[in-house]
Structures are given as structure tokens and as C-alpha cells.
Structure 1
Amino acid sequence: MKKEYKKRIDRVVQYIEGNVYKPISLAELADISNFSVYHFHRIFTGLVGETVNDYIARRRIEKAVNLLVFKRDLSITQVALESGFSSGANFSKAVKLYFGFSPSEIRNPDKIKNSKIGKINSKYGKDFDPSCLYPARITNGVMNELNIEGKKMNVEVRDLEAKRVCTLASEGGYEPEYIYKAWDKLIEWASNNGIESKEQERFAFAFDNPAVTPIDKCRYTAAIVVGADMQIKPPFSQSEIPSGKYAVLYFKGTPEETLRAQLSIYSDWLPDSGFEPDNFPLMERYINDARVDGYIEMEIYVKLKEI
């Protein structure tokens, strides 16, 4: 029954993610979950760990702040309106309350006095430093710092065919313990179903920016490519990597450098590429086992669409 409950709440979360900028009613979400409107809210809070309103508010403001950083051609008022806020003033108040900084301070960390650090909504207990969010500050020289065998990292555009995948979500966000737990279960499942370890094509869907979202709230899903006839049963799920063009960046380094490598695509490559990110999460394709080798070797994928 717990698996059935989780599946129904996952439908609600997916709906919220696709409509987070629009007004969403509790009755509407209860109907999607097929739970009684009288009990839906308690079930959602129990499984997700946040109230419905808190979840929607957090996701709306997190996405808005990412727009502030990566869509610098938009004014703060435009970001506010595109993010579902009624005005630039209301948006500024909400951002200041949640992050401890105004939208203009987040966009221009050099102008912040006294190098203060805010705290994201006290209940999450996450320190927030705009300098770590703003990619121009993080990625100055990143292409030189993260050399692979003496060569600078290069982004290439690849055409991918659709891939059917078996997935398992981390129950603790980006916390390494929970990521490895999900991978151990998924790798064992694949091996038991005839996909040898060396033959496994391993991807991860990284939905959230850990510079903005509390680590345990970041959504991370492990995925292994499977054939069309492979049967997939709970707790595993079936999904698909869609066909299309992807920006692909090869990376080899420490876990701490991973975020900088990801952001380098958005800040150093995308603005002059003729593309923008499509509505699909960032992916990582793992080449090695970091626990064995002590470093991460992977390719970072961003699905593209033409501007």
C-alpha cells in the first residue's frame, strides 16, 4: 500500500512541477491523487515532508531564482511575472524573506555589503551565499581549472535516440548515502535481469540546483538503459530519455567540482551556442565507480532546443 500511496503522490509532484507558475488548488491536486480532499493534505505532508503550500512556494521561488541567474536578459519584473508572482514588488519581498537577499543582490553579489550569508527558510537550515549561485563568479577559469589530461573540457552537441530506462529515485535527495543506496539496488536489479555490470549504461536525472535547493530536497533519480521487452516492477519505474539534441560535457574530477562543471555549460557555453535548455532535467552518464576510483568520470547532458 505504501508503494501505491507513493505512486499517487508522485503524480501530484509531477503535476506541480509542470504547472508551478499557475494557481493550483488543493482540490485539484487531491483529484489527481485520487485521495479524498479531506485526507490528501495529510498524506502529502507525511510522504513529502512538506505541506502542499510550502512545497509549491519553495519550488516556485527556486525556479524563479534560477531564472534570475541564467536568464539575465530578463528584467526582475519579467522574471517575477513569468514565475507566477503578481508583481515585481511581491516577488522581491518573497525572495528577500526566503533567501535573505533581494533579487538585485542575487544578480550582483559584488554589490552586497559585508559579505553576508543568508539562510534559506530557517526550517531547512541551509546557508545561502549568492556568490556560489552566480555562475560568472563560480566559473571564471573553470575550463582551465578542470583539465583532463592537459586538455580543456569541450562541449559538443550530440543527437540522441530515445532510450528506455529503469529508474529508482534517491529517498534522500543528493545526500551521497542515499544516492549510493539507490544505485546499489538498481545495479543489483539490472545484474539479476541479465545486464552485466560492465554493459550497464548508467544515467542520473538531476532535477534541482543544490546551490538553491536544500540537499535533501533535491530530486535525484538513478537510471539504467533497458530493452523494450524488459519487465519493470515496483519499487522500480519505467521512464525514457527522449530523443533530441544534447549539449554533452566530459568531466573528470572531485564531487566538489561537479557543480562548477555543470554551471559552466549554462554560463560559458549556452549564451553563444544558439540553443537554450529544453524542458528536461540535466543528466549525468557515469563512466566509472567513484567509490572505487576516488574520483568522478562522467558526461553531463543538457537537452537543447533552438532559440
Structure 2
Amino acid sequence: MLRRATKLDYAERMARVVAHIGEHLDEALDLERLAGVACFSPYHFHRTYRLVVGETPDQTIRRLRLHRAAVALSEVEPPLAEIAQRAGYGSSEAFSRAFTSAYGHTPSTYRAQRVFGELPRGGMTPPPPPGTLAEELAYEVEIKPLPGFRLFGLPHRGDYNTIVAVFEKVFALGAAHGLLTPETRDFGIYYDDPGSLPAEELRSFAGIAVGPDAVRPDDFEEADIPAGRAACLLYKGPYADLDRAYHFLFGRWLPQSGREPANVPAYEEYLNDPKSLPPSEWLTEVCLPLED
């Protein structure tokens, strides 16, 4: 077994690779380049990355490119051929097969279900106009008391849709520090309204819940979710579509609820593993803290 210092070093190096992938999705990301980012031998990089991150580099690249494609399909433009090319596919047909396999719909069908106008800054769609299918979507909202959560993690600044690379780094470092167990809970805190600020100014935090006695490693920051009542809904589907849940929660449920939101940011808990399940099966609980 690797010594803790060595495990942490490997985790940090592989986390650098994930961040590099997320920042250079339009570039060639061959094995030698990624091994160089990790300062690792190309002969052993692939196996080490898979064991530390939980998937191969090619799977990470494909997953992040398809996630970005799903976000792009929320707009009328760009054309499907351009989205396919940016996702690394030589033809629209190959892209369609890969996207359909991952998301359960062809790119054209997915776009038809998503497009209601141009995206505002920050990567989220505006509320759908009256009479559209999406306007009729409803979620069951439950008001429940929730415990407070102490989180170790990392801040993110920028489009909320790009926080995935930060989570990968949190998981890699958390594993190296021995903080991850099958019971570990994962949270994202979202401090700003993406319809009101430029994407580059949006603030969020990717974290894992820890116990009150946990000692924070130097390479983590800490955030807290206070205990209290929250309006929670369960969303099932791709993270790129989570804005639908927010539109319902803030645009339909809250005005009719007679409740006041607390001066606490909304947050999400991710209830299953996106690496082992297709996007259509991803479960996210969206929570809006309320005044008592």
C-alpha cells in the first residue's frame, strides 16, 4: 500500500490532469501530454490514473466533452456538426451514437426538448414560455428539517457547468487523505444567480461532508451548510438540465408556497455515482433553505 504522503502526491498529480483536461477540451489530449502534466512516466500513467480517479483518461475526456455538448444543446446555435466536432467526433453520426448512448436521446431530440430561447449568462436556460411542455414539468417538493453539514472541499469561480473538474480534484484529494467511504456525502453550494452575473463571476463550492472532529488538510478549504428547514426536490437526469429544477423551485413553487427563503445559498447533494451510471439515472437533491 502506498504511504499516505505518496498517495496524496499521486492524487494531487492526477487532479492536475483532470483540471487540465477540463481546461483544454478543444485540444489534443494524448497520453504523453497528460502524463507530462502529472510528471509521470507514460508507461505507468494510464494505470495509475485509472486506479486513482476511477476511470481511464479517455473516459474522463469523453464524459467532460459530452457534458459540454449537452450544455451547448440547450441553445439554438451552434449547429450540431460544430458541437460534434468540438466534442472530438469526426462526424455527426458518430457523435449522435455516442451522445445517444450516454444521454438516452439523440442530440436533435435532446435539443428539441431543451431549447426555449437563448441562454442567459452563466449557462442556464431562462424559464420556458407559457404553453411549452417544460412549463408543465412539476417536481414534488418536500419541506424537511436537515442537519448542518461541515464540508471539506474547494471553491470554484466560473460557469456552474464547469464545476465537475473541481469535484474530481476534491474526490482525488479526499481519497488520498482517507476521507472517502461508501457513506461519504457529496455537496455543491451555489452562491449566485446565474441569470444575474457574468459566468466568470459565479461562485460555488464543491465539497464532501465530514465529521465535527475531522482535521482539515491544508489543501482543502472548509464550508458549512447550517441546520434548518429546507424545501427539497429530487431531480433525476443530466446535470446539464438541473436548471429546470431551479426554475420550478424558484419560479413556481416558492411564489405559491407562502414561505420565505433563508439568507443561505441553495445547495445540491449528489446521491449516486455519475461514473457508473448513465446521465438519465443521475440523482440530485436540490435544497432551498427556508426561514423558520
| TM-score, normalization by structure 1 | 0.50
**Counterpart position of 2:193:** 209
Distance 1:232 1:165, change over 3 A: same
- The amino acid across from 1:154 in the alignment is E
Distance in 1 (alpha carbons) for counterparts of 2:178 and 2:164? 21
**Counterpart mapping for 1:234-253 below 5 A:** 234-253=218-237
Offset, 1:197: 4.5
In structure 1, stretches of 5+ residues that fail to align are 1-115, 121-125, 146-151
Q: Secondary structure at the match of 1:260?
A: helix
**For 1:195, which of 154, 172, 179 is the aligned residue?**
179
Q: Which residue of 2 aligns with 1:275?
A: 259
Q: Contact 1:170 / 1:221 at 8 angstroms: preserved in 2?
A: yes
Does residue 1:137 correspond to 2:135, yes or no?
A: no
- AA at the equivalent of 2:155: A
Provide Cα deviations, 1:220-258, integer angstroms capped at 9, x if missing partner: 211111011211133311221101100000001223421
The AA in structure 1 aligned to 2:246 is Q
For 2:196 and 2:135, the matched residues in 1 are separated by 23
Deviation at 1:266, TM superposition (A): 1.1
Task: Encode CA deviations 1:146-165: one digit per residue, 9 max, x unaligned.
Answer: xxxxxx52000010122211
Amino acid at match of 1:137: P
> 1:285 and 1:143, CA in 2 relative to 1: closer, same or farther beyond 3 A?
farther
Residue 161 of structure 1, aligned match among 138, 147, 151: 147
In the other structure, the counterpart of 1:20 is none
Contact residue 165 and residue 226 of structure 1 kept, 8 A? yes
For the Cα contact (< 8 Å) 2:123–2:160, is it kept in 1? no
Aligned partner of 1:275: which letter? Answer: R
Instruction: Please state how far the C-alpha of 1:286 moved relative to its aligned partner.
Output: 0.4
- Shift of residue 204, structure 1, vs aligned partner: 0.3
Q: CA RMSD in A?
A: 3.2
1:297 has 2:283 as partner: yes
Greater RCO, CA 8 A, separation 6+ = 2
Counterpart of 1:247 in structure 2: which amino acid? A
Residue aligning to 2:160: 174
Change (3 A) 1:174 1:303: same
The answer as to whether partners of 1:175 and 1:216 remain within 8 angstroms in 2 is no
Q: Secondary structure at the match of 1:220?
A: strand
- Specify the code of the residue in structure 2 equivalent to 1:266: F
Partner amino acid for 1:208? D
The structure 1 residue matched to 2:204, chosen from 220, 223, 228, is 220
Unaligned runs of 5+ in 2: 1-116
Q: Contact 1:138 / 1:260 at 8 angstroms: preserved in 2? A: no
1:282 Cα deviation from its structure 2 partner: 0.9
Shift in alpha-carbon separation, 1:284–1:184, aligned structure 2, 3 A = same
Q: How far did residue 187 of structure 1 move? A: 1.3
Alpha-carbon separation, structure 1, partners of 2:290 and 2:214: 29
CA displacement at 1:297 relative to structure 2: 1.6
Contact 2:188 2:269 in 1 (8 A): yes
Does the 8 A contact of 2:268 with 2:285 survive in 1?
A: yes
Give the TM-score, by structure 2 length: 0.52
My pick for the range that moved more, 183-192 or 218-227, is: 183-192
Query: Residue deviations 1:15-50, cap 9 Å, x none?
Result: xxxxxxxxxxxxxxxxxxxxxxxxxxxxxxxxxxxx
The aligned residue for residue 285 of structure 1 is 269
| Distance apart, 1:303 and its partner CA | 0.3
Amino acid at match of 2:139: M
Whether the aligned pair in 2 keeps the contact of 1:187 and 1:197 (CA below 8 Å) is no
- Deviation, structure 1 residue 142: 3.8
Rounded Cα–Cα distance in structure 1 between residues aligned with 2:213 and 2:232: 29
Three-state SS of the structure 2 residue aligned to 1:266 is helix
Equivalent pair of 1:139/1:264 in contact (CA under 8 Å): no
